[in-house]
Amino acid sequence: MNIKENWINYIHGLQDRICAALEQEDGKATFQEDQWQRAEGGGGKTRVIANGNVFEKGGVNTSVVFGEVTDPMRKQLNINGHRWFACGLSLVLHPVNPFVPTVHCNYRMFEVYNDDDLKVFADHTIIGREAAEARAADRWFGGGTDLTPYYLFEEDARHFHQTYKNACDAFDPGFYPAFKKECDNYFVNWHRNKERRGIGGIFYDHQRPSAEKDTSFWFNFGKTCGDAFITAYLPIVQKRKQLPYTEQHKHWQEIRRGRYVEFNLVHDRGTLFGLKTNGRTESILMSLPPTVRFEYNCQPQPGSEEDKLLQACLNPVEWV
């Protein structure tokens, strides 16, 4: 099998493992799968969970898509070439309990083919054989996992970040500080005084194989980070899912969910890519929470638990 087949198999296996773990944690709701096809090439498996004991709404989606590079993709996404291929997993979970954080995770591989590659590309299936694989003009990996709490438990933040530091350190001790900073500087509502969506994690994009770090290196790094998701997130869920909460806590959760919506619709490159490539709208907007609030000039009481969370979003913390 070539790199595309291996990556596709890994992504589908990761989807299965994560969904099974989340269903067990919820104890009530199960994922409903919706398989879809994209007219221009490829398709995906959208799995959605809703109205559970733990998860109010969530999705764990995979896609294997390909097609011709369009002018909007060249201009807005800075993609050069004639054809492209992408495969990845993307998940977002919005819990019921405001003391359980929302989480996002995404790992993907992207390839671009030039005009000279079109005959070879057309002669094989999209996942191709070695002949087609060798002709990819460009290939990169990207991904990350980040945490969006509504109330800040510092031990949870340390656990989450330590898990991904451990994953990064196994490959390069410089990765965690670099990718944490990248995460802190990506999930930002710039229009709200540089307010972060949450407390970060890791984020990396356009990591191209090199002589020092080849395709296998980045493939294995993506696998390690993807596999770390359950270890990073589920212990937090287990600790917080049964804590009692009030309507005031739910009110603040919905205010912060509004910030989540703002980032995803205004700034997120993944949302833009999906919409610009005629992706499946329902799957792309699966990331949005079920209920939100937009209240005029809503400010938490200084020194409150709500303000503690906001300050961590305005001033990123070194958790480990």
The position carrying tokens 């919905």 is: 254
Answer for the pair 269, 115: CB distance below 8 angstroms, yes or no. Answer: no
Q: Does residue 94 carry a catalytic annotation?
A: no
The Cα 169–Cα 173 span in angstroms is 4
Nearest to 309 by CA among 174, 170, 153, 186: 153
Answer for the pair 58, 21: CB distance below 8 angstroms, yes or no. Answer: no
Answer for the pair 225, 202: CB distance below 8 angstroms, yes or no. Answer: yes
Cα-flanking dihedrals φ and ψ of residue 221, to 5°?
-65, -45
Measured in residues, the chain has a length of 320
Answer for the pair 203, 179: CB distance below 8 angstroms, yes or no. Answer: yes
The position carrying tokens 């907007």 is: 285
Exposed / middle / buried, residue 309 (Cβ in 10 Å: 0-12, 13-18, 19+): buried
150-179 burial code (b ≥16 CB/10 A, e <16): bbbbeebbebbbebbbebbeebeeebbeeb
Look up residue 210 and give its two tokens.
Answer: 């090199």
Exposed / middle / buried, residue 43 (Cβ in 10 Å: 0-12, 13-18, 19+): middle
* Residue at 16: amino acid letter: D
Catalytic residue among 12, 82, 94, 104: 104
DSSP secondary-structure letter at 320?
-
Catalytic residues: 104
